[in-house]
A and B are shown apart, each in its own frame.
Chain A
Amino acid sequence: MLPHEKTLVKRLADKPFALIGINSDGPVEKVKEILAREQITWRQAVDESTDGPLATKWNVSGWPTIYVLDEKGVIRYRDVRDQEMEDAVMTLLAAGSKK
């Protein structure tokens, strides 16, 4: 996932797109360490653990869990990774730009 995500974020830097990680690795300091080391540039919600509030609320039991939302906030795809995820994002961006 990470290599694909990095490329995607770079590629879509000037598009109405956002990748948000909901991270379970630990507190802020731990997350910052990982972001710096892995050169991850996109925003993270610090959920602190796999039992964090967001993961619990959204019933996340498998990692990673992916949701793709359109510009209206509607869930359009779930559990898509890598190329499938990229295709989903490109489809939504194309549809959005036609309006």
Chain B
Amino acid sequence: MRSDKPEKKAQTRAWFERLSKEFGDLKSAYGKDYKSIAAGFLFELDHLQIGQIPPDFEAIDENGVKFKLSDYRGKVVVLDFWGFW
């Protein structure tokens, strides 16, 4: 979900906040409640748009080593959410 126009962004936000407020406890087909679903979209809307610096995160790698996204400042980074399945 991308939003470059401020009016559209505000409208989108309003929709997701309403979804969360009025239907928050209802579950979607995948068993996730709408409050969580809305939270995901709002996070993306607020932090993951082109031109933004996303919030830092910490993860564990394949060798059990902890690392942060911010460790990679100074490099061009491709984040690839993937699975072999």
Contacts and interface: CB of A to CB of B under 8 A. Distances in A.
Given A24-B81, A63-B82, A66-B80, A71 B60 contact: no
A72 to B, nearest CB: 7
Interface in A1-44: 1, 5, 15-25, 28, 31-32, 34-35, 38, 43-44
Interface of B: 1-2, 36, 40-41, 43-44, 48-54, 57, 59-62, 64, 67, 69-70, 72-85
A22 B77 CA distance: 12
**Contact-residue size bin, chain A (C-beta under 8 Å from the other chain):** 35 or more
A43 B81 contact: no
Query: How would you classify the secondary structure of chain A's contact residues: helix, strand, loop or mixed?
Result: mixed
B62 A89 contact: no
Contact of A64 (B62, B75, B82): B82
Contact of B78 (A44, A59, A85): A85
